[in-house]
Structure 1
Amino acid sequence: MKNFIIKVGVGALISCSACAQQNYPDHPVRLIVGFAAGGSTDLVARIVANKMSALLGQSVVVENRAGAGGSIATDAVAKSKADGYTLLLGTSSHAINASLYKRLPYDSDDVVPVSVVASVPMVLAVNPSVKANTAKEFIDDIKKNPGKYTYGSAGKGSALHMAVELLANQEKLQVTHVPFRGASQAIQSVISGDIPFITDAVSTAAPMVQSGKLKAFAVTTATRSSVLPNVPTMKEAGFPSYETSIWNMVMVPKGTPAAVVEKLSATLLATVKDPDVQQRMQKIGVEPVLDSTPEKAAAFVKAETRRWAEVIKAGSIQQE
């Protein structure tokens, strides 16, 4: 009789668990962002959350937990219950941090990919006083003057920093990194002429380029940016091996039920295919990713982690 009661109890628990997954979500979902409000990652999060709320029939609430290159937010999600109610909007920093930091409070596989939702092109831009008029002319000048040029970024290990490190690694450039507390400070320093160049997100740099405060040489993605259509890609500019972006990927704690992951994946795919979502993203220079799956996202983040590990090792970059 006792064994029968135990078996019935276990069966009931399994049945309740399956029922909960079938009814998912039955209360609000949190989408954790590792960066401050107002930046491109936060804007993408709010565009995505708004549409997801409509599709899921439950509020998807954006929560900002900035700091340590996104690792504070990642740690919070990694340690949360694996039930689909706490999501992470991961960025390129997730792949970078795996090698950048000597120690992290979580393992990289404590959060798992659901879907890449957006890609943010970056743009190689300079102060208008720079004499070069193309990316090729500019990089040739850097090669002729090793150590002369400095560049700004949003901080050590940021996507803006690593974009230049990738180029420096490929082209054997000697340039000096000047880290700032944020991208806005870095770009203002280029505009003022304190430092000559930056690789910044198109979403924030485009207005400065359009107003003539910056001179744009090339965007970093395989295709041109919708907000800077006259600016060539780095490949078009003569650098066929160079391509990078700031990507946004929804992730969940390891162990989240497969049925929940599948529902989130389908919801995210419907979200980025929505014409209004696409229009809102493209308006700020963000390109929606329309074909992601958990499997594709996992393979992508694995490749990105490997790539940035090589760049970090080559540049002897380390963060405590």
Structure 2
Amino acid sequence: MTFRTTFIGLTMAAAIASPALAEYPERTIELTIPAGAGGGTDTSARKLAILLEEMLGTSIAILNVGGGGGSVGASQFMQAKPDGYSLFATWNSPLTTVPQVQNVAYSLDSFTPIASTSETAYTLCVKADFPATTGEEFLAELEANPGKYTYGNDGIGGTMQLAAERIFQARGIDAVAIPFGGAGETLQNFLGGHVDIYGGSISTVLPYVENGEAKCPLVTSAADVPALPGAAGLESLGLGDKETLLWRAILGPKGLDPEIVTMLADTIEKAVNEPSYVEFLKTKGEVPNVVKGDALGERLQSEYDGLAEVSKALGL
């Protein structure tokens, strides 16, 4: 066999091994968001898409498919071809929480993890005159008054409820969960006095913390959160292993070419760390957090398993 023959053979083998990556991307990528326009995941994904368009040299079309806490969009997306031209921008709840309380057509194995993008804690907040300010005081007050206090959350079996109950169960706290249709609706009912405690995302309640109408003694992350300097992280309360975060990620359909996954993950990491995007996240009380490929898959599985235990304990 001549050198020329060997070279041609190796070149053909390389082309066969990764045909998808050779000219990728050469057309528009469709980015499915399993929520309506204007929400946290939608605005974050659209901002990121602008940066990705420039870095990838192609256009990105946004497709909003809301409903079912994200399950409608996830179920529709799992039918997409694994060619790199269909991507899924989601928050963690449709993958790790919703399947605990709904019958869904998909599982974690229905997707290819590419990269997470950002994260933030949930928070528990009270009115300014609530008889507790620190995280420890807050938990002690709830512990001393079983069944007295109500907390709004994002729906029966939603991530916020499970996040709160992971903490409450560890401290033997009995608080009454009141489900609403999301953080905005929870906030309205909290401000209106219909629930004692706001449970939801930081960005939604932050303006009312800044004007002194509310205070947030606790966040659901292990560490403190700079956006809420008065809130205790769970590590300081000896509850670091009960951490639950709201985080966002981009996934592909099952069977996506590993080389495309690696290229997209590296590009997403670069875009997420662009100063303009970091500053954008800061306004939402979020921070960049990139976990790629198999490590992201492990994070999804770990969270799913942890929330399954809480869901089972609650009879959900």
After TM superposition, the score normalised by the length of structure 1 is 0.88
Q: Which residue of 2 aligns with 1:98?
A: 99
Identify if the C-alpha distance between structure 1 residues 227 and 308 changes in structure 2 by more than 3 Å, giving closer, same or farther: same
Q: Tell me if the contact between 1:218 and 1:237 (Cα under 8 Å) persists in the aligned partners.
A: no
Q: Which residue of 1 aligns with 2:296?
A: 297
Q: Which residue of 1 aligns with 2:47?
A: 47
Q: Which residue of 1 aligns with 2:76?
A: 76
Q: Tell me if the contact between 1:169 and 1:315 (Cα under 8 Å) persists in the aligned partners.
A: no
Q: Which residue of 1 aligns with 2:135?
A: 135
**Aligned positions of 1:5-20 closer than 5 A:** 18-20=18-20
For residues 264-291 of structure 1, the C-alpha deviation after alignment (integer angstroms, 9 at most, x for no partner) is 111111111211111111121111114x
The answer on 1:207 being equivalent to 2:207 is yes
The answer on 1:247 being equivalent to 2:247 is yes
Q: Percent of counterpart pairs with the same letter?
A: 28
**Aligned positions of 1:1-320 closer than 5 A:** 18-93=18-93, 94-101=95-102, 103-237=103-237, 239-290=239-290, 292-317=291-316
Identify if the C-alpha distance between structure 1 residues 15 and 203 changes in structure 2 by more than 3 Å, giving closer, same or farther: same
Q: Distance in 1 between matches of 2:61 and 2:164?
A: 34
Tell me the CA shift for residue 209 of structure 1: 0.9
Tell me the CA shift for residue 38 of structure 1: 2.1
Tell me the CA shift for residue 143 of structure 1: 1.6
Which amino acid is 1:178 matched to?
Answer: I
Tell me the CA shift for residue 133 of structure 1: 1.6
Q: Tell me if the contact between 1:153 and 1:198 (Cα under 8 Å) persists in the aligned partners.
A: yes
Q: Tell me if the contact between 2:35 and 2:65 (Cα under 8 Å) persists in the aligned partners.
A: yes
For residues 149-199 of structure 1, the C-alpha deviation after alignment (integer angstroms, 9 at most, x for no partner) is 111112222222222122222222212111112211111111122111022
Q: Distance in 1 between matches of 2:57 and 2:43?
A: 21
Which amino acid is 1:134 matched to?
Answer: T
Q: Which residue of 1 aligns with 2:7?
A: none
Q: Tell me if the contact between 2:30 and 2:62 (Cα under 8 Å) persists in the aligned partners.
A: yes
Q: Tell me if the contact between 1:47 and 1:281 (Cα under 8 Å) persists in the aligned partners.
A: no
Runs of 4 or more, structure 1, over 3 Å off, are 14-20, 229-232, 237-242
Count of residues paired in the alignment: 303
**What SS is found at the alignment partner of 2:306?**
helix
Which amino acid is 1:168 matched to?
Answer: F
Unaligned runs of 5+ residues in structure 1 are 1-11
Q: Distance in 1 between matches of 2:240 and 2:111?
A: 33
Identify if the C-alpha distance between structure 1 residues 244 and 66 changes in structure 2 by more than 3 Å, giving closer, same or farther: same
Tell me the CA shift for residue 222 of structure 1: 3.0
Identify if the C-alpha distance between structure 1 residues 173 and 187 changes in structure 2 by more than 3 Å, giving closer, same or farther: same
Tell me the CA shift for residue 235 of structure 1: 2.4
Q: Distance in 1 between matches of 2:97 and 2:182?
A: 17
Tell me the CA shift for residue 238 of structure 1: 5.3
Tell me the CA shift for residue 129 of structure 1: 3.0
Which amino acid is 2:297 matched to?
Answer: A
RMSD of equivalent CA atoms: 2.0
The more displaced of 223-232 and 32-41 is 223-232
Which amino acid is 1:170 matched to?
Answer: A
Tell me the CA shift for residue 246 of structure 1: 0.3
Identify if the C-alpha distance between structure 1 residues 76 and 121 changes in structure 2 by more than 3 Å, giving closer, same or farther: same
Q: Tell me if the contact between 2:223 and 2:234 (Cα under 8 Å) persists in the aligned partners.
A: no
Q: Tell me if the contact between 1:112 and 1:254 (Cα under 8 Å) persists in the aligned partners.
A: yes
Tell me the CA shift for residue 16 of structure 1: 8.1
Q: Tell me if the contact between 1:69 and 1:157 (Cα under 8 Å) persists in the aligned partners.
A: no
Which amino acid is 2:126 matched to?
Answer: V
Unaligned runs of 5+ residues in structure 2 are 1-11
Which amino acid is 1:54 matched to?
Answer: E
Q: Distance in 2 between matches of 1:176 and 1:229?
A: 27
Q: Distance in 2 between matches of 1:162 and 1:153?
A: 9
**What SS is found at the alignment partner of 1:235?**
helix
Q: Which residue of 2 aligns with 1:6?
A: none
